[in-house]
Chain A
Amino acid sequence: MGKTIVCQCEDVTQGDLEDAFEQGFRDLESLKRYTGLATGLCQGKCCIAHAARFLAALKGGDEAAADPPRTRPLLQPTPISCFAGPEELSASPASREGQK
C-alpha cells in the first residue's frame, strides 16, 4: 500500500498524523507543531484542509473539533530586503494604532 501525503512541503503522511494522534496531539494547532505540517513554504495553504479532514475522521467524524490553526503572516515567503528599506517608509506606532 502506498503512503498518503498530507503536507508536501514538510513530507507529513497520514501515518504521521495517526501516530501524533496516538501520542495525544489531538487538535490542529498541536498536530501542526508536532509534525511540522503547514510550516513549510506553502504555509499550510495546500495541506490544512486535508489535515482537518483526517483529524475529523480520527475523532469519529467531529468536524468542529478540527478548527483550523490560526493563520499567520506572511501570505507568501518574501525576501527580507523587501521590508528593510529606509525607516521613513515604515509604519509608525501612530499609523499602527489606526489599523486596529
Chain B
Amino acid sequence: MRDRADLVIIGGGVVGLSLAYHLARLGFTDVVVLEQGYLCFGASGRNGGGVRQQWSTEENIQLMKESVQMFRRLSSETGYNVWFRQGGYLFLARDAASAQGLEANVKLQNRCGVPTRLISPAEAQRVVPGLAPAGIQVCAYNPTDGVLFPFPAVWGMARAATQLGVAVETFTRVTAIEARGRQIVKVVTDRGAIATNRVVNAAGAWSVQVARLLGVELPNKPYRHEILISEPLKPFLDPMVSDLSDGTYFSQTMRGEICGGVSDPAEPSSMETRSSLRFLERMCRAMVRVVPTLANVRVMRQWAGFYDETPDGQPILGRVDEVDGFIQLHGFGGHGMMLAPIVGKLAAEWILRKADHALFQRYDLGRFKRGEVQKETFSIG
C-alpha cells in the first residue's frame, strides 16, 4: 500500500469511487481509496439500481438528467456492462395530496426538459401489464428514467480509476486520522498509515464514525432499508413501479428477477443489517396490491443495507469549519446510486479548482447551523 498520497478517499462505495474516477480522468491520480470490506459491501452493493429524473426541485432534476447521460456512457467508458435500461418510472398516487404533488412535479420536470406525463390508471395498465387500477387516482410516467445493475457500476469505476493510476485498497479499514492543529497529517488503517493533508469522507452510513475520528459531529443517521428479489421471469415489466402511498418500489432486472423494497415508518435508526419477516410480509402484500398476478411468483432472497439520512434529505457536500482539507461527500439517503456520477464529477472539478460549483457551499455541513435548509419532498423508500 502507498505510504503517502495527495488525497485519501475513505469509502469505496459508488460515491468515493465516482470521485476517484473523475479525479483520475482529470489527470489527478495521487489518490488512495480505502474500503473496509469488499467492493459492493456498503449500500452501493445493496440497492435497487433505480435512476430517475422525477424529482421535486429543479436542482435535483438537472443533476439526475446529467447522471442519466453519464450512466448511458459508463459501460463503454469502463468496460463493465452496467445493464442500464431506460424502461421508465411509473409513480402511483392513491390520494389527493400525492396526486397534486405529482401534478406540480410534472410541470416542473417538463420545464426542465424531462418528458414526464400524467396518465390515467387505464393507460398505466398498458405500461404495467396486470396493474390493479382500483384506488389509483393518477400516475406519473417518465419513459427516460431507468434501472441499472449496481455491482458493475461500482467495479467499473474502480477498475477505470485503477487503470488511470489511483490505488483502491479493499479490506482496509481506517482506524484513526491524525491532525496537527487544523491540518490533517496522516490516515491510519489496519494495514498501515498513509501520510496526506487531504481526506474525503465518503463512508456512507459510517460517515459519522469517520468524522468523529477528527472530532467533527455529523447529524446523519443510518436506517436499515430492506429489499428482496424474486425468481427470474420472462421480461414483462418495463418501468420501475413506485406506489407513493406506502413507498413501495419494484422493477425487473436484466436477469428477469423482480427486485424492490418498501419503506417502514416504524424502522428505528440503527446499524442493524439482518433481514426481517416483517419486511417480507409488508413487501409481498404491497406487491400483490399493485400487481395481483405477482402472488404466484416465488421470492428467492432478501437482504438489507443502510440509508444514510440527513435532517433535510439532501447530501452533505463540502468543507467543515473545524479542520482543513476534510471534505464531506455523504448523506445520500435512498438516491446515492443515481447521484454518484454527477456528484463525483462536480466534486472532482471543485477539488481541483477547475470549476466552482455552488453545490459545495449550499450543501455543506454548516447549513444546519445557518438554518438554510430546503427539503426535497420526493424521496422514496
Q: Could you tell me which A residues sit within 8 Å of B by CB distance?
A: 27, 29-30, 33-34, 36, 39, 41, 43, 72-74, 77-85, 87, 90-93, 96
Contact = CB atoms under 8 A, between A and B. Distances in A.
B295 A81 contact: yes
A77 B284 contact: no
A53 B211 CA distance: 40
Interface of B: 37-41, 45, 151, 155, 171, 230-231, 255, 266, 275-278, 280-285, 287-288, 294-303
A93 B45 contact: no
Contact of B300 (A74, A81, A85, A92): A74
B interface secondary structure, majority? mixed
A51 to B, nearest CB: 15
A interface secondary structure, majority? loop
Given A72-B275, A90-B281, A91-B281, A79 B296 contact: yes
A29 B38 CA distance: 8
B298 A77 contact: yes
A41 B230 contact: no
Given A33-B40, A74-B299, 9 more contacts: A39-B301, A41-B300, A80-B287, A80-B295, A81-B284, A83-B281, A91-B276, A92-B278, A96-B278
11 contacts: A29-B41, A33-B45, A74-B280, A74-B301, A74-B302, A77-B298, A79-B299, A80-B287, A84-B287, A85-B281, A90-B277
Contacts of A79: 295-299
A70 B45 CA distance: 14
Contacts of A84: 281, 284-285, 287-288, 295
A87 B266 CA distance: 15
A83 B231 contact: no
